[in-house]
Amino acid sequence: MTIDELIAAARGGSLRAAGRLLSLVESPRRTEVLDALGPLGGLAPPRVLGITGPPGAGKSTTVGALVGAYRERGMRVAVLAVDPSSPYSGGALLGDRIRMAAHINDPDVLIRSVATRGHLGGLAAAVPAAIRVLAALAYDLIVLETVGVGQSEVEVAAIADPTIVILNPGAGDAVQAAKAGLLEVADIVVVNKADRDGADQTVRDLRAESAVPILKLIAAQGEGLPELVDAIDAHHRADSPERRTARARAQILSLALTRLRDHPDLGRLAEAVASGNDDPYSAAERLFAGEP
Ligand SMILES: Nc1nc2c(ncn2[C@@H]2O[C@H](COP(=O)(O)OP(=O)(O)O)[C@@H](O)[C@H]2O)c(=O)[nH]1
Ligand SMILES: [Mg+2]
């Protein structure tokens, strides 16, 4: 099938064709696909919800619950799981499949694992392209699950709005999250597993570190889910041109940084600076200019 045929098939509801397009934008054929899709043409970009936090915090469980809530509203939802430890498909992690089982056969839910490596230009470059494909396929909501550890995951989280950071009750979780820079990207903080001891204390600790809404959740039982959905809605209602511009800025910066990090001259320039044959200021100028 040609790219145009794939786009037509995906728009006609083929999840297979949609999957093919998402694979293509992770490959050197990315530009071809993006060109074929064209600009959004003034259409409002879809909402992108970011869910991040340490492994095991309950991100996938929360995503599953949120997908259910948005499906009840009739929204078409796509989930991109950027979490190497927790693929939603492929059999590696049965737990996630069971959590998402309710949605596996729903044609209006697309679930895809995005590997953290092997993309043209890295993860931070792959995710905006995937979002563009999903926007063209008329998904109303895109949920991005990332493990909040690496720099590129933090960059990806910054593209989403709101970004929800999921933590658990327990000594040090709040402090760890603050240290890891996770709280900086948070628009909403969720203390999941609130069925465990210490949830209220963790909420108090987090209030000392962050000014954003902090909610308790028992994702496994759906307790606190309506409040989370309300907080997400309130965040969306408060969206503004300034915030949209700030997100666009984060996206541009993340793409530009990716390009610079992958620049073929970076290694050689670094050696020249290290050996005293160049200074970092002019090396940086050369990196921007693209000249050897
Ligand atoms: N006690 C309790 N366990 C939960 C809750 N939410 C999720 N879990 C469990 O925590 C584990 C990790 O959940 P998962 O959603 O895979 O976490 P992720 O790695 O952040 O995606 C699983 O065993 C879940 O069943 C909760 O609200 N309470
Ligand atoms: Mg997960």
User: What's the CA-to-centroid distance between 63 and ligand 2, angstroms?
Assistant: 9
Which atom of ligand 1 lies nearest, measured to the CA of 54?
A: 20
Backbone angles phi, psi at 117, to 5 degrees: -120, 165
Distance CA 167, CA 147 (A): 11
Kindly state if the Cβ of 103 falls inside 6 Å of ligand 1.
no
Q: Which pLDDT belongs to residue 289?
A: 87
Give residues with Cβ within 8 angstroms of 276, minimum separation 6.
Answer: none
Ligand nearest to C-alpha 53: 1
Judge if the beta carbon of residue 86 lies within 6 A of ligand 1.
yes
Q: Which atom of ligand 1 is nearest to the CA of 63?
A: 15
Residue 186 and residue 203 in one domain: yes
Model confidence at 90, pLDDT cuts 50, 70, 90, reads: very low
Residue whose Cα lies nearest atom 14 of ligand 1: it is: 58
Q: Work out which ligand 1 atom sits closest to the CA atom of 166.
A: 20
Same domain? 156 vs 274: no
Query: Could you tell me which residues come within 8 angstroms of residue 117 by beta carbon, excluding any fewer than 6 positions away?
Result: 123
Please identify, by atom number, the ligand 1 atom nearest to the C-alpha of residue 85.
19
Separation between Cα atoms, residue 136 and residue 222, nearest integer Å = 31
DSSP helix/strand/coil, 163: strand
SS3 81: strand
**How many CA atoms lie within 13 Å of 52's alpha carbon, on the beta-carbon side?**
32
Examine the pLDDT at 5 and tell me if it is beyond 90. yes
* pTM for this predicted structure: 0.84
**Is the CB of residue 53 less than 8 Å from the CB of residue 166?**
yes
Checking if the pLDDT of 173 tops 80, the result is no
152 and 233 together in one domain: yes
Of 181, 151, 147, the closest CA to residue 166 belongs to: 147
> What is the tens place of the pLDDT at every residue in 42-58?
677 788 999 988 888 99
Say yes or no: CB of residue 60 within 6 Å of ligand 1: yes
Which CA distances in Å does 190 have to 28, 101, 185, 232? Answer: 38, 24, 13, 12
Q: What is the pLDDT of residues 195-206, one digit of tens each?
A: 999 999 999 999
Dist. CA 59 → ligand 1 center (Å): 7
User: Largest Cα–Cα distance in the chain?
Assistant: 63
pLDDT digits (tens, 9 = 90+) for 260-280: 887 889 999 999 999 999 999
Looking at the fold, whether 132 and 34 belong to one and the same domain comes out as no
* DSSP code at position 174: H
Domain count across the chain: 3
Residues 205-256: tens digit of each pLDDT? 999 988 999 999 999 999 999 999 999 999 999 988 888 888 788 778 877 8
> 33 and 64, same structural domain?
no
Rounded distance from Cα 59 to ligand 2 centre (Å): 5
| 205 φ, ψ (degrees, to nearest 5) | -60, -40
Own/partner pairs for 87-96, CB < 8 Å, 24+ apart? 87/113, 88/60, 88/112, 88/113, 89/113, 95/60, 96/60
141: domain CATH number is: 3.40.50.300
90 shares its domain with 126: yes
Of ligand 1's listed atoms, the one at least distance from the Cα of 61 is: 15
Residue 232 near residue 188 (C-beta atoms within 8 A): yes
Q: Return the H-helix or E-strand segment holding 199.
A: helix 199-209
Clarify whether residues 34 and 46 are in a common domain: no
Q: Read off the tokens for 154.
A: 């933090």
Are 220 and 183 part of one and the same domain? yes
Which domain covers residue 280, as residue numbers? 243-289
**Is residue 253 domain-shared with residue 282, that is, in the same domain?**
yes
Q: In terms of C-beta density within 10 A (0-12 exposed, 13-18 middle, 19 or more buried), how is residue 211 classed?
A: exposed
80 three-class SS? strand
Do 216 and 251 lie in one domain? The reply is no
Query: C-alpha 83: how far from its chain's center?
Result: 10
Q: What is the mean pLDDT of residues 55-76?
A: 91
Phi, psi for residue 223 in degrees, rounded to 5: -80, 125
Same domain, 31 and 160: no
Q: Which of 51, 59, 61, 98 to mutate to test the pocket of ligand 1 (most atoms within 8 A of CB)?
A: 61
Q: Identify the nearest ligand to the CA of 164 by its number.
A: 1
74 CA distance to ligand 1 middle (Å): 26
Query: What are the distances in angstroms from CA 169 to CA 142, 181, 184, 274?
Result: 27, 18, 19, 46
Same domain (yes/no): 98, 138 = yes
